[in-house]
Amino acid sequence: MISIENLSYEVGTACILQDVTVTLPKGGMTALIGPNGAGKSTLLSHVARLLPIQTGKISVDDLEVGNCDSSALARRLAILPQQVHFATRLTVRDMVAFGRYPHSQGRLRSEDHNKVAEALEAFGLTPLQNRFLDTLSGGQRHKAHVAMTYAQDTDYLLLDEPLNNLDISAARALMILLRDLADNSGKTIVIVVHDINFAAQYADHLVVMKQGQIACEGKPVDLVTQALLTDVFDTDAHVALIEGKPFVMP
Ligand SMILES: Nc1ncnc2c1ncn2[C@@H]1O[C@H](COP(=O)(O)OP(=O)(O)O)[C@@H](O)[C@H]1O
Ligand SMILES: [Mg+2]
């Protein structure tokens, strides 16, 4: 479980996160939703120690994020940040192999090679494995980044807007894969998604952020209502129930 207690974060005079306390359950898939600028990426970045904790405490099971060994954290938790910077003259395979670094320290053993091959296969990248990243389409490059995160093979996977750049087929394939990892491999998936319908269809638990705070949390069917869209997203889209799941009519 990821436990976030009284986390606040300020940049200059702006309060980006304001006394956030929330527990992200172990196992299953939690989706973090909320309007642009709500603080979702900032929150995930803190959990993965990409930003220093100013106030508050975060722990991932027995690891305290502010204090633990960084390689121990990297073996427990992987993050796909919203903005990924990449070296263009890197092949897809080399990039995915970076995901093994916390396990191999750069000297890949056979189990590392196997994990890289598995990740390439899972994302349909095997035929592209020797291509340089700057020769790929945006969507293909994006899949390579997700595959690198997957290859890290951690208990916790944090993905910040992984559906960006993906067509509907690739987006569905990714969500189905993540669901399978949660259901059959004991992984905990935390995902930021803009499409509330994807969140409602696939996630077990939703955490809604607004203006640097947690607005509400719960099961998609209880949470995704017209009131949520009005109060949090400031829009009056209609919500229908299809096969027992809420569906926002855009
Ligand atoms: N380094 C920074 N300096 C100033 N403002 C920032 C910085 N990082 C984030 N913010 C602001 O914090 C707010 C939350 O950002 P972010 O966590 O990226 O939101 P979200 O991921 O929910 O869209 C935004 O208003 C953003 O402009
Ligand atoms: Mg963001």
Counting as low any pLDDT under 70, the low residues of the chain are none
Looking at residue 165, what is its pLDDT?
A: 81
Q: Which fold has domain 2-249?
A: Rossmann fold (3.40.50)
Looking at residue 206, what is its pLDDT?
A: 98
**Which residue's alpha carbon is nearest to atom 24 within ligand 1?**
37
Atom of ligand 1 lying closest to residue 39 CA:
17
Q: Give exposure, 161-171, as e/b (b: 16+ Cβ within 10 Å).
A: bbbebbeeebb
Distance 37 CA to ligand 2 centre (A): 7
Atom of ligand 1 lying closest to residue 35 CA:
22
Looking at residue 105, what is its pLDDT?
A: 86
**Which residue's alpha carbon is nearest to atom 18 within ligand 1?**
41
Looking at residue 24, what is its pLDDT?
A: 97
Looking at residue 84, what is its pLDDT?
A: 78
Looking at residue 114, what is its pLDDT?
A: 97
Atom of ligand 1 lying closest to residue 16 CA:
12
CA 57, CA 46: separation in Å to the nearest integer? Answer: 10
Looking at residue 64, what is its pLDDT?
A: 97
Looking at residue 240, what is its pLDDT?
A: 95
Helix and strand element counts for the chain (H, E): 10, 12
- Ligand at shortest distance from the CA of 34: 1
